[in-house]
Amino acid sequence: MNGIVVRKASPADAAGIVAVLETVAAERIYSAIDTVWTVQQEARYLASLSPREAFHVAAGPDGLIAGFQSLDLWSSILPSMSHVGQVGTFLLPDWRGRGIGRLLWRDTLDFAKDAGYRKLAIQVRASNTVAQAFYSALGFKECGRLTRQVIVDGIEDDEILMELFV
């Protein structure tokens, strides 16, 4: 769609990923992420991912990173939760509502199946009803709420927990 290609990210994509996160963090309303790593920190993080973890990026023909979807282990230390992954999705404003989230999800879900996950979980700000609609459309079900879990610019928000059995 529109020359967008989804591919697994490498540390070389750190600048593009940080640019997306900086934009979303500056919007202040969509994510609990209110401060963003440097490009160097992000590159180190991408290089440190285990074989069962991946970021997928949606890249335009000019190489612009329009957005990305992350898949991390829910817990990097508990073998009892090694079957659970956590997902995050972030797009630049101009690229939202154009099917890119679904495109990213196709690759993330394939990767999650190959990596042996049995369930995926996400935390979404309660005020972010668009993201809840997005994850519901992918098959996630709401399964809990952490009350007053986020404070950004002095404004409290809950976090909605959603899960999907792979």
Query: Which stretches does DSSP call E strand in 12-154?
Result: 54-59, 65-73, 84-91, 119-125, 141-152
Q: What is the CB neighbour count within 10 angstroms for residue 113?
A: 11
User: 155 burial class (0-12, 13-18, 19+ CB within 10 angstroms)?
Assistant: exposed
End-to-end CA distance of the chain: 26
In the complex, which residues of this chain contact ligand COA (CB under 6 A)? 24, 30-31, 67, 88-91, 96-102, 124, 128, 130-131, 133-134, 137
Minimal distance in Å, beta carbon 24 to ligand COA?
5
Q: Which is nearer to ligand COA, 47 or 98 (CB)?
A: 98
Q: Which is nearer to ligand COA, 67 or 85 (CB)?
A: 67
Minimal distance in Å, beta carbon 159 to ligand COA?
9
Minimal distance in Å, beta carbon 88 to ligand COA?
6
Minimal distance in Å, beta carbon 119 to ligand COA?
17
Contact indicator for 58, 30 with CB cutoff of 8 Å: no
**DSSP-derived secondary structure letter, 52:** T
Q: Which is nearer to ligand COA, 46 or 89 (CB)?
A: 89
Q: Which is nearer to ligand COA, 97 or 116 (CB)?
A: 97
